[in-house]
Amino acid sequence: MGTNSNNSWDSNLYDDKISFVSKLGKDVVTLLDPQPNEKILDLGCGTGDLSNEIMRSGAIPLGIDYADSMIEKARQKFPNITFQVENGETFRVANQFDAVFSNAALHWMTKPSKVAESVWLALRDGGRFVAEFGGKGNVQTITKAVKEVVSASGANVSETNLWYYPSIGEYACLLEKQGFCVLYAIHFDRPTQLEDGENGMRHWLNMFAGAFFTQLSENQKSQAYSIIEEKLRPKLFKNGNWFADYVRIRIKALKECSPCRHVS
C-alpha cells in the first residue's frame, strides 16, 4: 500500500474482510475512464482488483505497491497483469504512462511532494493523474478513540501519525507546484460500511491500525479493542454494522494543460 514496512500487510484479511476498498474504488476507475491500449500505472494497487478492472476496459495496467505480500497475492489472482514492488515516493519508470491511477493508497505516503514528483515523471506529456484517498478529517473519530484508549494503557502514541490527510486546497497547491493542472477536485464525507457486522471494526483495526498497538500485549490489545468499540458504538454502529468515518479527496490533474497554456 503506502510506505509502511513492507511485510506487515495481511493480504488475505484484505481480500476477505476489507473488500469494500476495491468495490468503492470502481467509481474512481469511472473517473479515470481508461481507454483501450492506454498504459496505466495503478499506484498502491493492493491485491490488484482495480488493476484488473482497468484491464477489463482494454487498457494495459501496471500495478505497483510497496507491500510484498500484496503484490504476491495480486500476481496469484491476476497472472496476466504485471505487478511490481515499488515505493510510491521514489519509484521511477523506464517508459511513460498515459495515466496514473490511485485508490485509497496516497494517504499512506507521508512525503506527498515526492509522490507528486514520481507521478509527474511517470506520465507522458498530456497524461492524467486520477486519485482518491483520505482527506482532512479522515477517520478522526476512530483515531481519537484509539489514541485515548491506547494511551490509557500506558503506551505513548501521541506522536504516532501514520497518515497524510490534506485539505483539498493543500493538495491542489502541491500538485500545481509540481506543474500539474488540477481539473477536478472534491472533498466529501463518505461513511463507509465495514464488513462482517459486529466484527467489522476489529477487522479494520487489525488491518490498518496495528502501529498504535505495538506496545501492548495480545491481552491488553484485545481489551483495548473492546473499550474502543464501546466508545465508538454510539457514533459509528448502526443497524448491526460499523461505519468508518471516511472523508475522501477525489482529484483529476493533467501533466500539461491546454486551458492554462492559453492564459497570459
Report DSSP state, residue 194.
P
CB count within 10 Å of CB 56 equals: 11
Report DSSP state, residue 193.
E
- 39 vs 107, beta carbon nearer ligand BEZ: 107
Q: Binding pattern to ligand BEZ, positions 231-260, x when CB under 6 A?
A: ---------------x--------------
The CA-based dihedral angle spanning residues 216, 220, 221, 222, taken in that order and rounded to the nearest 10 degrees: 170
CA distance 83 to 71: 6
Instruction: For the segment 197-226, give every residue that binds ligand BEZ (CB under 6 A).
Output: 208
Q: Which of 93, 163, 206, 241 binds ligand BEZ (CB under 6 A)?
A: 163
Q: Which of 2, 134, 166, 200 binds ligand BEZ (CB under 6 A)?
A: 134
- Pick the stretch among 9-17, 131-139, 194-202, 231-239 that binds ligand BEZ (CB under 6 A): 131-139
Least Cβ distance, residue 163 to ligand BEZ (angstroms): 6
Instruction: For the segment 63-122, give every residue that binds ligand BEZ (CB under 6 A).
Output: 104, 107
- 73 vs 107, beta carbon nearer ligand BEZ: 107
- Pick the stretch among 35-43, 67-75, 81-89, 132-140 that binds ligand BEZ (CB under 6 A): 132-140
Q: Which of 59, 123, 139, 201 binds ligand BEZ (CB under 6 A)?
A: 139
Q: Which residues are 192's β-sheet partners?
A: 244
- 59 vs 205, beta carbon nearer ligand BEZ: 205
Burial class (CB in 10 A: 0-12, 13-18, 19+), 86: buried
CA distance 5 to 66: 8
138 lies in the site for ligand BEZ, by CB under 6 A: yes
The sign of the dihedral angle between the CA atoms of 185, 187, 189, 192 is positive
Question: Alpha helix locations (H) across the chain?
Answer: 11-17, 20-32, 49-56, 68-77, 112-122, 140-152, 168-178, 200-208, 218-236, 258-261
Place of cell 505497491: 65
* Cα separation of the two ends of the chain: 41
- 22 vs 138, beta carbon nearer ligand BEZ: 138
Least Cβ distance, residue 263 to ligand BEZ (angstroms): 35
Place of cell 515499488: 86
- 46 vs 127, beta carbon nearer ligand BEZ: 46
194 lies in the site for ligand BEZ, by CB under 6 A: no
2 lies in the site for ligand BEZ, by CB under 6 A: no
Q: What is the size of the binding site for ligand BEZ (CB under 6 A)?
A: 8
- Pick the stretch among 33-41, 65-73, 133-141, 178-186 that binds ligand BEZ (CB under 6 A): 133-141
Asked if residues 59 and 83 have their Cβ atoms less than 8 Å apart, the reply is no
The footprint of ligand BEZ (CB under 6 A) covers 104, 107, 134, 138-139, 163, 208, 246
